Structure formats: structure tokens, C-alpha cells
Amino acid sequence: MIQPHGSDTLNPLYVQDAARRDALKQEAEGLPSVVVSSAAAANAVMLGSGYFNPLTGYMNKADALSVAEKMETAGGLFWPVPILNLLDDVSALQGAKRIALRDPNVDGNPVIAVQTVDAIEELSESEKNTIIEKVFRTADPEHPGVAALQAQGNHVVSGPIEVLNFSYFETDFPGTFRTAWQIRDEMAERGWSKVVAFQTRNPMHRAHEELCRMAYEAVGADGILIHMLLGKLKAGDIPADVRDASIRKMVEIYFPPNTVMVTGYGFDMLYAGPREAVLHAVFRQNAGCTHFIVGRDHAGVGKYYGPFDAQAIFRDEVPAGALKIEIFEADHTAWSKKLNKVVMMRDCPDHTMDDYVILSGTKVREMLSKGEALPEEFSRPEVAKILMGFYQAQG
């Protein structure tokens, strides 16, 4: 199986020893504590899960700025996005060597991790803007990722963490949430050595389904990892439980047994386009995947990124050898009326846009809200039925 990023073995930061976990929980009761941002809590979940291997905790200011500027830490580790614990008010933490991090997304704000404080530093507005502009390629406050980062405060609390739980992800999505090591273990049990990963924050229509099949066949894979984001999204995106149900139904009916794993990970969407695509590749490598599908407008939002910027970054900016995972570059896929199947548009130079079945997201939502069936060339009827139930329940 493919080696993790930056180390020979996977080193998740979740404390697996129950006695050690109990001791940390007890210690946390006597420590200065702070309710962290949703982003910092999600970072803790990803660090605990092994997805952010080989990081040992939250980055300091020098690492964050270096990662933003050059996609590597001050020590030279390739990394695409700063992993931070940013706070607005740190007055209660002054002089503390150890602090308890409390979860903003669970009732009662339980302790999600204990952090050893290496440093508390302040980002200037200029430094924070540099991070924003480099990571998101825009400083537009209307960009959801920019807005989320701007809201997090300017104090960088860095240092290693020990993770005590996986927030709400394990309890709300027990059949879907999986750590990187759990995915590796299941791949080994299934006998998979070559695995292609598909990222999604949306339900999967016919084009997505066929894209997974195309990549699987093109690389000669043993299996497909459909890996969905389970964390916070922007307003209007479909909730994780609805996506989960629709994807599982599609896999159950339309893929042969033992070819697909449907799993999810606990992270808030950044909508950072190219930089987030690289982060997606890093943590799919940590989960053991050998190939990763990067499609049109990967991790994008609005008109902030070109349709294939997320592919270009791997060719133009990621240093050779920085990652072991291979990128499968996908074009826009859609049903061809001429060929009666889903195709990649780049493979059909004789087609015009009128030769494809393409529906906008707005049109799909409108039809489903009215109880109108989607074309079977666009969506499997079993999937459309689940989505229709969700939209009609919204009124």
C-alpha cells in the first residue's frame, strides 16, 4: 500500500490508549481552556484521524506564512494549506504550557484535544491577508472560505496536540466516518493495493458515477474510495446525511460488490480551489490511495477559479516527488445524446453543447422541489428520489 505523506508509517494524533485518554480528560479539567473555531476543531479531527500526517499539531506563524507563500513549512515539509488554531482572545491562556481545546460544535463544548503551547503569536492584518490571498487566490469577503478565515481571529496558538475524540462526526455518521488508518485497514482486508479516490461534497449523478468507473478502469484499480466531506458547508449545499444515503443507494445498485468503499471525513469545506485540491491529494495518500480524481472546478466556488486550475497546480506548482499519489485528470463529463452514454467532453470533439444532457444546479433544485423527475441520463432514479424527498421537505 502507498506510503503516507512525510513519514514511513501513519502517525495519527488520536490517543488510542483508553487509560491515557482518561488521564488527559482529567488533566484537562484543571487546565486553561478555550472554545476553538469550527475550523480548528475540524483540524483537530483531521490530525487525530491521521489525514494530516506527519503534522504533530497546529502550525506556528512562520510555518503558516511559509506554507501560504511556498507550499512548504519553514522546515521544508511540503504542505499546501496552513493548519492553524486561530483565536480572537488569548488572555486566559497567557503563560500556560498546556491548554484544553473545547469543541464549538457539540453541546456543552466538551474537550476535543489537549494542546502543548509552543507559542502564542499575533498575525498582522498584512500577514493574514497574505495567507488569505495565497491560499484562496482572492481576498473577496464574499468567498465563503475567506469569510470563515477572517472570522477566526489573529492569534496563532501553535504546538502539538493529543486528540480525545472525533467531535460529532463519529456519533452523527457512525456508518460513514472513518479515520485514515481505518480506511487503510479495510483496504488491506479487501485485498486492494491500487485504489482511486473520489472527493465529493455533493450528491453523485450519472456523470460522477461514470467518472469513477472511467478512472477505475483507466488505472487498473482494485477499488474506488468515495470519500465525502462531512463537515460544515456553505448555505444551500446538501446536508451530509442526504448525500450519504443517495451515494450508498447508487453504489448498492450500480457497482459490483467489493469495488467501492463509501466513507467520509471530518473537515469543514474551505472552497480553496487549487490549494484545497492539493490538500485533498495529501490526505488521500495518507488514507492509502494510489490515485486521486481531480475534475472540473475541483473544490471551487462561484467564479473564483478557472475550470481546470485545480489540475494545473499539480503540474505547475507541486514539486516533482512531493507526493506519491498520482492525479487522474478528468474533464467535464456528461451524457452524450449521440453516443447514448456518459463521456468526457475532451473525447468528443465532434459534439456541440446541444449534444449533451446538462442541467444547472438551479434547474435540478427547481425540478426536485416541484416533484419533477430528473432525466435518467442525468441522475439515477433511485438517487433522484432521495434528493426529491429532501427538497420537498424544505418546502
Residues annotated as catalytic (active site), given as ranges: 201-202
Grid-cell match 484537562, residue found: 28
Count helices and strands in the chain by DSSP H and E runs: 13, 15
- Report the C-alpha gap between 22 and 15 in whole angstroms: 10
Which pairing describes strands 57-58 and 155-163: parallel, antiparallel, or unpaired? antiparallel
Enumerate the H helices of 54-205 as residue ranges. 61-70, 125-136, 144-150, 169-172, 180-190
- Report the C-alpha gap between 122 and 64 in whole angstroms: 12
- Report the C-alpha gap between 308 and 330 in whole angstroms: 9
- Report the C-alpha gap between 27 and 39 in whole angstroms: 24
Burial 187-202 (b: 16+ CB within 10 A, else e): beeeebebbbbbbbbe
